[in-house]
Amino acid sequence: MKQLLTLMLVVSLSACGTAQKVRYSALETMGVHKRDILVDRIEKTTATQEAAKTQFQTAYQELASLIEVDDQGLEQKYKKMSKAVSRSESRANELDDRIKAVNSVAVALFKEWEQEITEYQSDNLRQASAKNLASTRERYGVIYQKMQESQERVKPVLQVLQDNTLFLKHNLNARAVSSLSGEAVFIENKIKDLVQQMETSIEESKAFVGAMKNS
């Protein structure tokens, strides 16, 4: 059974890889190369990071405002908070997909670039291309690491927000809400760390895209 599952996974990954190659080939016939796709995906990931940053701040604000409400307004505030947390989860999933898509095309681009370097007849041009590849790969490594670091900070923040939402679902009263004041402070600090990391990632990504467009 284990061997069958492993085989199915290999076949699935192979099929995904083949589908990507076909898609890249089709786009290249229309003049859209992997380099262009990488830039586009990084820009979309940056936009998603901006949206996720704002959404997580909103979710925290809804939790913080909930603590200040008496019994009469708890139900309405809880619903707003629950929706904000649900949207945060969607943004987190979207960001995860975006980062994976970025790395997928980056790997394909660098593999293609390495192959093309061997096709040069000119030593000077081959060396120049190899140097450019090394530089681009190094810069990409920096932004990819920043993306991953920001994503790693998303998960624990989301888990805390989800835990508090679940707790309040069955304990929606002033006393229970008041007991979460310490949690709100904890989440606030986590949100600040998340925002700072995302902003660093966003700036690095913008610089990389700018360099790619001007090179």
The residue with greater pLDDT, 207 or 32, is 207
* Domain count for the chain: 2
What is the C-alpha separation between 82 and 168, in angstroms, rounded? 10
To 5 degrees, how large is the angle CA 19–CA 114–CA 104?
A: 35
Q: In 10 A of CB 128, how many CB atoms?
A: 13
Can you give the residue range of the structural domain that contains 105?
33-214
Query: Is residue 114 within 8 Å of residue 85, measured between CB atoms?
Result: no
Residues 50 and 3 in one domain: no
Q: Is the pTM of this model over 0.95?
A: no
Residues 67 and 15 in one domain: no
What's 32-72 look like in SS3? CCHHHHHHHHHHHHHHHHHHHHHHHHHHHHHHHHHHCCCHH
Mean pLDDT of 177-188: 81
Residues 89 and 9 in one domain: no
User: Which tens digits make up the pLDDT trace of 109-138?
Assistant: 999 999 999 999 999 999 999 999 999 999
What is the C-alpha separation between 212 and 206, in angstroms, rounded? 10
Residues 3 and 77 in one domain: no
User: Which tens digits make up the pLDDT trace of 103-115?
Assistant: 999 999 999 999 9
Q: Tell me the CB-side half-sphere exposure of residue 124, using CA atoms within 13 A.
A: 0
Residue 92: pLDDT over 90? yes
